[in-house]
Amino acid sequence: MSIELAPYLFSFIAPFMASLIVFLFGKRRFIKESVSVLSIFLAILSTVLCWNSLSISDKTYLIFGKIFYIDGFSILMQLMVEFVALMVILYSLFYIPKVYNHRKENFHNYYSAILLSTAFMNLSFIFNNLFLLYIALELSTIVAVYVIVFKLNKESLKAGFKYIILINVGILFSLLGIILLFYMAGEPVMISNIGEVIKALHRNIALLSAFLFIVGFFTKAGLIPFHLWLPDSYSESPSSVTVFLAGGVTKLGFYGLVRTITGFSFNYEEIKILVIFLASLSMLIGAIVAFNQRDIKKIIAYVSISEMGFIASALVLKTYEGIFGGVFHLINHTLIKGALFFVAGAIVYSCESRNIENIKKAIGKMPTVITTSFFIGSLAVGGMPLFASFLSSITIFFALTKEGFLWASIVLIVSEFINAVVLLKTGIEIFWNKEKSEVSTTSIPFLMLICTGFFVILLILFGIYPDIIYPLIDSATKGIIRILN
């Protein structure tokens, strides 16, 4: 292994070591907070260094033997997960001690689990060998269950059990797909040569392995019909963890999807149609089911499923615009869900309930940042102009139409509309209700407000000045297309 790889591996090593330190010494004052934040900063630094090396060289990727492969998409995913982890850690500093006070002896384990899961996610983004990618992906999934069941009540334990067993069985299907590719290729399949392997496959075998990958990575991403774990895990876990799940854990499913299924869809029209059909189901069913929910986190969870359908449908398109739109929406989905779930967290923090009827009775005057963030998040879900999601949705819309999937574009627009209506209706019910006590003002810690506001600011900033994020998305898109072509 080359010595020049060492700085890039810091994106894994820093959170991994920090996780051990926090686990062993985290009970001492300030250790868990300072070490966690510092390690994530180090990881971000390492990823930025990697991005810098890639941009100054003529190459579109960095390859280190048969083990590591880093391109624009790997870097984008790492940056996204690191940013989410940082926000989650900062938000948790005040949120967890108040809402989960009964687990105060285990707070250091909470931070340790988040860091460990982040470390394995970062590792999976740079592995070249599909088997190693699977191993890192599964480990990050398993570790995340600890924070899902952090409350340790019946509901959270049931949600955690569902999460771990469904995702583990689901991604074993993708392992079966990897094994099948191995049988056909005669050697372990690498991300760097997967395009060639897919082209050389017998048609029936290719369709079978694509199907196995779809089951595996759709389960991981939480797309319909493999979404059963998602609503419960999102609603029963702490709100900070929900952001981690939506912005990190499910994104691993999309990473796997891009590295494998997109390759099949480039060569087999049937796969593209199947994925777009399932993605459209996710868009529509997610939006419709969200209408019937009375739990604020479940509403956002189903809206999230619906939005992930947009991403999946775009990522299997054969055009640059399609993949670009999908990758852009991947970022926007993280920002929107970050803002919305952090608002939900602030509501739970002040009202101690997720049920809309209870919230309406208990809620006082909320800080402007919280109410504004919720409405901006809702409008962004609807793909309104001025927000980054407008640009990504419109790109996906045109890309789908251009490839002959007008029906899917219509489903996308209809679902966006329903999602926005559901969230706006919920927002109006909660924040503008007449039962609300105008006297009591809810105080939310400043750091929680900053974290929520930061997601919203980025959403607007990328919407008005997309040039800021354009080079990274462009590099990611080119990286994806280069491998698969």
Partner 1 sequence: MEIIYIAILFFGFLAGEAKSLKFSILSLIPHSLFIVIVVFIIGYVNNIPSLYLIAVLDLIVRAILMPILLLKCLKNRVETETKPSISHPLSIALSIVLLSIGYNFVEMFKSSYIPHVISSFSSGLTLFLYGFYLFISKRDILKMMISFFIIENGVHFLIISMIPRMPKFIEISVTVNFVVAIIFLVYISLRLNEIFVKEEIEKLKESSSQRS
Residue in 34, 52, 57, 153 binding partner 1, rule: CB under 8 A: 153
Q: Which is nearer to partner 1, 147 or 483 (CB)?
A: 147
Of 82, 72, 150, give the one whose Cα is nearest residue 117.
Answer: 82
Burial of 434 (0-12, 13-18, 19+ CB in 10 A): exposed
Q: Name residues whose C-beta falls within 8 Å of residue 160's C-beta, 6 or more positions apart in sequence.
A: 145, 148, 149, 233, 236
Q: Which two tokens stand for residue 23?
A: 């686990």
Which listed range, 104-112, 159-167, 358-366, 448-456, lies at the site for partner 1 (CB under 8 A)?
159-167
Residue in 30, 105, 186, 434 binding partner 1, rule: CB under 8 A: 186
Q: Which is nearer to partner 1, 100 or 398 (CB)?
A: 100
In the complex, minimum distance from the CB of residue 135 to partner 1, in angstroms, rounded to a whole number: 5
Of 377, 362, 361, 399, give the one whose Cα is nearest residue 463.
Answer: 377
Residue 453 binds partner 1, judged by CB under 8 A: no
Q: Which is nearer to partner 1, 45 or 176 (CB)?
A: 176
Q: Which is nearer to partner 1, 49 or 157 (CB)?
A: 157
The full 3-state SS of 347-400, as one line of letters, equals HHHHHCCCEHHHHHHHCCECCHHHHHHHHHHHHHHCCCCCCHHHHHHHHHHHHH
∠ CA 342-344-346 to the nearest 5 degrees?
A: 70
Residue 176 binds partner 1, judged by CB under 8 A: yes
The two beta strands, 68-71 and 61-64, are: antiparallel
- How far is the C-alpha of 112 from the C-alpha of 122, rounded, in Å? 15
Residues 129-148 that bind partner 1 (CB under 8 A): 129, 131-132, 135, 138-139, 142, 145-146
Residue 455 binds partner 1, judged by CB under 8 A: no
Residues 193-232 that bind partner 1 (CB under 8 A): 202, 205
Residue in 164, 252, 363, 376 binding partner 1, rule: CB under 8 A: 164
Residue in 35, 175, 223, 370 binding partner 1, rule: CB under 8 A: 175
Q: Which is nearer to partner 1, 171 or 340 (CB)?
A: 171
Which listed range, 178-186, 235-243, 328-336, 360-368, lies at the site for partner 1 (CB under 8 A)?
178-186
Helical pair 406-431 and 368-381, crossing angle rounded to 10 deg = 160
Residue 102 binds partner 1, judged by CB under 8 A: no
Rg (CA), the chain: 21
Residue 368 binds partner 1, judged by CB under 8 A: no
Residue 105 binds partner 1, judged by CB under 8 A: no
Burial of 394 (0-12, 13-18, 19+ CB in 10 A): middle
Which residues here bind partner 1, judged by CB under 8 A? 129, 131-132, 135, 138-139, 142, 145-146, 149, 152-154, 157-158, 160-161, 164-165, 168-169, 172, 175-176, 179, 182-184, 186-188, 202, 205
